[in-house]
Structure 1
Amino acid sequence: MSLKNSRLRLASVILVVALSGLATAGPAIASARQAVAGTSTAAREQAPATPTAFVDLPTSPLPTDGEQHEVTVTYRNDSSADRTVAPQLLVESADAGPFLTPADIKLERRTAHGCWEAVQVGTQTGTLFTDLPAAQRTLRAGETLTQVYRLTVVNPQAKGTVAPRVALFD
């Protein structure tokens, strides 16, 4: 068998394999696209992705004594309509730095059953923050939101400010 015939056979085999793979994958890709499109549409209809305003609550210095400190985020929906809100805790670095990292703190949230669960924090430009989408909830007119966090500073050199707030969605 010549080298030219071997190359033609190899090219033919590769082409057949590629075409059969595309034929099989085509419907799977299309259904995945429909599923993703349906999910993102449903998610957008449930709650807005971007807050329209924030209610800042009193701040406090970041405690560096290594003890557990509770921080309560409270908000009352005084409007006559339901409102989507999300409690958030910010831990802001000192202006002079150094920037805080998630490893500098341990953060927990009290569940509805009174247990403590770990909270992962995001970080951006020296500010640690809790996730808004995961914390979103609907408050009926006149209802009050109360979320209790437990903060422990693991790094005694850390400096900053604890800034609780509530994100409002319209």
Structure 2
Amino acid sequence: MSLKNSRLRLASVALIVALSGLVAAGPAMAATQPSVAAASTGAQEQAPAAPTDFVDLPTSPLPADSAPQEFTVTYRNDSSAERTVAPQLLVTSPDAGPFLTPTDVKLERRTAHGCWETVRPGAQTGTLFTDLTDAQRTLPAGETLTQVYRLTVVNPQAQGTVAPRVALYG
């Protein structure tokens, strides 16, 4: 067997193991895995694939009307070193259901220019979540992260809880 074939087999096995882990992982962990394209290029330096901790912020009920509601995720890096962080918005279903789907809500994120951009939430077992890999950023020591989301309930029967949080890496 050639060295090239061995490397391909090893890469295939690693990919299968990683994908198997995604299926078994909860929404927060699934949202942290690097994309296959980014992982296979090796050209970019990747932040750690999985958060080491989360800072949970105050939760609130899913809005009962169809008016847009803003949620702000704020985190201050009080350490003496820079830190990789990622804001995340979770929308969880009631334990007894019915489970939420991405079509139940419209989710947007405010850009640095003050415009709103649509965010397609991921979904797993009734939890909607924003992707952590796209949200990762390096926060210098003493700096504050502020990310504003705008959530509109499209399905008037939708019920749940909005849970903002910040993923911490390394």
Give me the TM-score of the superposition, normalised by structure 1: 0.76
Gaps of 5+ in 1: 1-25
Question: In the alignment, which residue of structure 1 is the partner of 2:55?
Answer: 55
Q: Report which of the two structures shows the higher radius of gyration computed on alpha carbons.
A: 1
**Matching of residue 123 in structure 1 with residue 123 in structure 2:** yes
C-alpha deviation, 1:41, in angstroms = 3.4
C-alpha deviation, 1:80, in angstroms = 0.2
Gaps of 5+ in 2: 12-36
The residue correspondences of 1:1-170 to structure 2 (distance < 5 A) are 39-43=40-44, 45-170=45-170
C-alpha deviation, 1:46, in angstroms = 3.0
Percent of aligned pairs with the same residue?
A: 77
2:87, 2:41 → 1: CA distance?
23
SS in 2 for 1:103: helix
More helix by share: 1
- Give the AA of the match of 2:139: L
Residue-by-residue CA offset, 1:41-89 (whole Å, 9 max, x unaligned): 344x431110000000000000021000000000000000000000000
1:158, 1:37 → 2: CA distance?
35
What is the number of residues matched between the two proteins? 137
SS in 1 for 2:42: helix
Distance change >3 Å, CA 68–CA 77, structure 1 → 2: same
Distance change >3 Å, CA 37–CA 56, structure 1 → 2: closer
Give me the TM-score of the superposition, normalised by structure 2: 0.76
State the superposition RMSD in angstroms: 2.0
Residue-by-residue CA offset, 1:79-102 (whole Å, 9 max, x unaligned): 000000000000000112000000
Q: Which runs of 4+ in 1 moved over 3 A?
A: 36-43
SS in 2 for 1:134: coil
